[in-house]
Amino acid sequence: MNDAAALPAEVEDLRVRTRAFIREIVIPREPAPGERMPQDVRDELMAAAREAAVFAPHVPVEFGGQGVPLRHWSPIFQEAGYSPIGPSVLNCMAPDEGNVHMLELIATEEQKRRYLAPLAAGEVRSCFGMTEPHPGAGSDPAALQTTVVRRGDRWVINGHKRFISGAIGAAFCIVMARNEDGGATMLLVDMDNPGIRVGEPIHTVDRYIDGGHPHVYLEDCEVGDDAVLGEVGEGFRHAQVRLGPARLTHCMRWLGLARRSLDIALDRAETREVFGSRLNELGISQNLIAESVIDLETSDAIITKTAGLLESDPRAGSALSSIAKVHCSEAIYRVIDRAVQLTGGDGVSDGLPLAQYLNEVRPFRIYDGTNETHKWAISRRASGHRRKEVAAGEPFRGEATVHAEEPA
């Protein structure tokens, strides 16, 4: 994890206190693998987090959080993610965490009062309505099918969303819809609006996002001008404020879970004896452990670099977050998979939580844009960058050079 010496004293203090809170208070209250946390337990633990002053680390102090800047989120989020319910308890779980960040940056003062304040306080949950059934928006936002049109003094939204994480029980949805001129606009829609309804749930292998991933239908859903988040027609641009950091915070949380998985495997390898030796003394086990440590540390490093860049240069940081998302989603899965291998039969049973951890992190290679889509974009950016360098006078190295044979 990030070198404690590099963190401001107050952030390191929060990290240490968060670590203790998760391990001493949260982990003993975890549900059985694959089961959801009961609402009363969630409420009780959130109250305890507030009392311990570890609640909402990313939220500004004025809205009841700890006010940690983005560049220092990772050590705290990793400690929260050491338990699969930790981020929900600390109110830094998707999709609410990403919505809090976006509302803080682009919402009006009235929207902050009405939506951000209760969300930051953990009094309500929210969702983000982008993904649609094929051929609508998924990994390609440009395929957006949901529409919003002006009708008198109202905006009218029509569309079908799916995989809308957190929608069951959410208080509001940030809906992305296409304007008549081809642009897109984000709109804040209360879930008790008669024009929006939560449809059938989609049963996925992950279990720890409150509110599931259901379909959401918008049918002549009317909202006023006060529902427009940001500027009309600028939805895609404004969404980048959310998407880059949201990709990265997934990496942070799941990296914490990967660290716990390796700890489980290390504890087993310390006590398990096979062929006359402890498991951690066997070369093949040592290789699995070493590869996991490498995956953890390289993931930590790219997260730290990306978080700093998202603050200093959001455009470049968003591009790097795409790389971080691909690397971390694959590396984290490898770490947990190796932990399963090191723990043998228990690893694939409900005697240990590792199999469910695999279920939790596997969708991350699809959520927030498939890894294949990100790799396509990464490749295009690399090619475009190199073309600009060559056009600016850098040597072109794409052609083989034939060297004359030197005399003996």
pLDDT tens track for 34-74: 899 999 999 999 999 999 999 999 999 999 999 999 999 99
* Contact present, 317 and 311 (Cβ < 8 Å): yes
Q: How confident is the model at residue 145 (pLDDT cuts 50, 70, 90)?
A: very high
Pairing, β 216-223 against β 273-274: unpaired
CB neighbours of 361 closer than 8 A, spacing ≥ 6?
Answer: 254, 257, 258, 329, 332, 333, 336
Does residue 354 have a pLDDT over 70?
yes
* Contact present, 307 and 71 (Cβ < 8 Å): yes
The whole-angstrom separation of Cα 334 and Cα 261 is 11
* Contact present, 143 and 135 (Cβ < 8 Å): yes
Pairing, β 172-178 against β 184-190: antiparallel
Does residue 406 have a pLDDT over 60?
no
Q: Write down the pLDDT at residue 320.
A: 97
Mean pLDDT of 305-321: 95
Mean pLDDT of 300-318: 96
What fold, for 4-120? Butyryl-Coa Dehydrogenase, subunit A; domain 1 (1.10.540)
CATH 1.10.540.10 occupies which residues in the chain? Answer: 4-120
The whole-angstrom separation of Cα 258 and Cα 100 is 25
Q: Write down the pLDDT at residue 408.
A: 47
Q: Write down the pLDDT at residue 112.
A: 98
Model confidence pTM above 0.85: yes
When the pLDDT of each residue in the chain is averaged and rounded to a whole number, the result is 95
CB neighbours of 283 closer than 8 A, spacing ≥ 6?
Answer: none
Higher pLDDT, 403 or 299: 299
Q: Write down the pLDDT at residue 106.
A: 97
Q: How confident is the model at residue 1 (pLDDT cuts 50, 70, 90)?
A: low
Mean pLDDT of 77-86: 98
Nearest residue to 185 (alpha-carbon basis) of 222, 244, 229: 229
> Residue 190: enclosing H or E segment and its boundaries?
strand 184-190
Q: Write down the pLDDT at residue 140.
A: 87
CATH 2.40.110.10 occupies which residues in the chain? Answer: 126-233
Bridge partners (DSSP) of residue 277 are: 274
Nearest residue to 306 (alpha-carbon basis) of 94, 114, 71, 98: 71
CATH 1.20.140.10 occupies which residues in the chain? Answer: 236-391
Nearest residue to 248 (alpha-carbon basis) of 156, 165, 325, 337: 325
What fold, for 236-391? Butyryl-CoA Dehydrogenase, subunit A; domain 3 (1.20.140)
Q: How confident is the model at residue 135 (pLDDT cuts 50, 70, 90)?
A: very high
The whole-angstrom separation of Cα 401 and Cα 398 is 9
CATH number of this structure's domain 126-233: 2.40.110.10
- Reduce the DSSP state of residue 165 to 3 states and report it: coil
* Contact present, 307 and 73 (Cβ < 8 Å): yes
The whole-angstrom separation of Cα 299 and Cα 292 is 11
